[in-house]
Amino acid sequence: MTIADRLLIGLAGLMGASGVALAAASAHGADAGRLASASAMLLFHATAILAAIALLARGLLHGGIGLTAVFGFASGAALFAADLVMRQYVGHALFPMAAPTGGTVMILSWLAVTLAAVVTRK
Tally of structural domains, the chain: 1
* Per-residue pLDDT tens digits for 21-73: 999 999 998 788 899 999 999 999 999 999 999 999 999 999 999 999 999 99
Best CA proximity match to 9, nearest among 60, 67, 50: 50
Residue range(s) defining the domain that contains residue 35: 3-118
pLDDT value for 120:
74
What integer is the mean pLDDT of 103-109? Answer: 98
Q: Is the pLDDT of residue 5 over 90?
A: yes
Query: Which is more confident, 113 or 122?
Result: 113
Q: Is the pLDDT of residue 122 over 80?
A: no
d(CA 105, CA 73): 7
Distant-in-sequence, close-in-space partners of 98: CB < 8 Å, separation ≥ 6? 79, 80, 82, 83
